[in-house]
Amino acid sequence: MNNKNILAAAIAATVAMFAGAAQADCPRGDLDERFCDVDGDLIADIPEDPAQQIDPDTLVFAYTPVEDPAVYKTAWADFLTHLEQETGKKVVFFPVQSNAAQIEAMRSGRLHIAGFNTGSNPLAVNCAGFRPFTIMAAPDGSFGYEMEIITYPGSGIDKIEDIKGKQLAFTAPTSNSGFKAPSAILKADYDMEPEKDFEPVFSGKHDNSVLGVANKDYPAAAIANSVMTRMIERDVVTKDQIVSIYKSQTFPTTGYGVVNNLKPELQQKIHDAFFNFEWDGSSLQEEFEKNGEGQFLPITYQEFWEVIRKIDSANGVSYACE
């Protein structure tokens, strides 16, 4: 069964099952009370009532704010033109400045299509009705990135234990590689906790942390190495400015998807646009081939984000929506 048929069947099953369930009988797991999960796939179902489904004339797209949004407005230009052709809608790029702002934009109805970073996916799914269905992957199907803890030459930090008594830069509390994963690993494997063993600071974004270490503003930082690789490729920093002292297992990268209340037919068109996009010669290829990425790979949140949910559980993270 091809990708189009898979999504069509999933949408039909979701609508059919939801139609047969009374609102009072609405299983939702960790989802916000606005959503139901009748099919048990851990993401919000499409609303049963057509009146609750939306079909906007203009679709808003946002990419996770890991670096300068201006860079990515250009990188996504060809894809967004393709998305306009596939949907018949105007599509605009929304340059969000923080993970929290991106989640709130979808939660409040101002964002329809998005790429949420790894750590933000659970919050976007549970609080904003995000339905992720793809990630970027290499042409051979491999995917993901690692969390690295980096320092600079001559910092006096040669191993993780040397961070004790010093400052460690995180990115944002919602970031997997920028906060959640390193926090869990430092506590479980090294018995090190913020405030007690080191001073935590938050840079806001991965590029800020990489630049902060390269310029010796931070003695150490936890970052996503995919971001660092792209920065090195663009000569924003050089390899000899960075020393890596820890590299994690591979995590899923940015998840792409839609808000749950778009009309099913429109969700199908958006889904198709991701999977029939021609990468060769595109602005998307020019930017993301720096990480070796060259296609959109079908995924499920239930399977691919299992390790992230486990990290959140280890950190005592709640998906409660404010």
**How many other β-carbons are positioned within 10 Å of the β-carbon of residue 299?**
19
Mean pLDDT, 10 residues at a time, the chain of 322 residues: 50 46 73 96 96 98 81 93 98 92 96 95 97 96 94 97 98 92 93 96 95 98 94 94 95 96 98 98 94 95 93 87 76
pLDDT of residue 183: 94
Distances 130 to 116, 208, 259, 278 between C-alpha atoms, Å: 9, 27, 5, 25
pLDDT of residue 22: 40
Q: Classify 23 as helix, strand or coil.
A: coil
Domains, the chain: 3-142+252-314 (3.40.190.10), 145-251 (3.40.190.10)
Distances 239 to 154, 208, 261 between C-alpha atoms, Å: 14, 16, 45
Q: What is the pTM assigned to this prediction?
A: 0.79
Contact by Cβ (8 Å): 234, 75: no
Distances 165 to 83, 144, 180, 213, 238 between C-alpha atoms, Å: 50, 32, 20, 17, 27
DSSP state of 205: S
Q: In which region does residue 190 sit, left (phi positive, over 0), alpha (psi from -120 to 50) or beta (all else)?
A: alpha
CA distance 169 to 212: 9
CA distance 299 to 274: 12
pLDDT of residue 136: 97
CA distance 295 to 309: 25
pLDDT of residue 16: 46
Nearest to 53 by CA among 259, 261, 264: 261
CA distance 54 to 265: 11
Distances 79 to 133, 276, 282 between C-alpha atoms, Å: 17, 11, 8
pLDDT of residue 314: 85
Amino acid at the residue 68: D
Q: In which region does residue 132 sit, left (phi positive, over 0), alpha (psi from -120 to 50) or beta (all else)?
A: beta
Q: Please give the full DSSP string across 86-136, using - where no structure is assigned.
A: HHSSEEEE---SSHHHHHHHHHTTS--EEEE-GGGHHHHHHHH-EEEEEEE
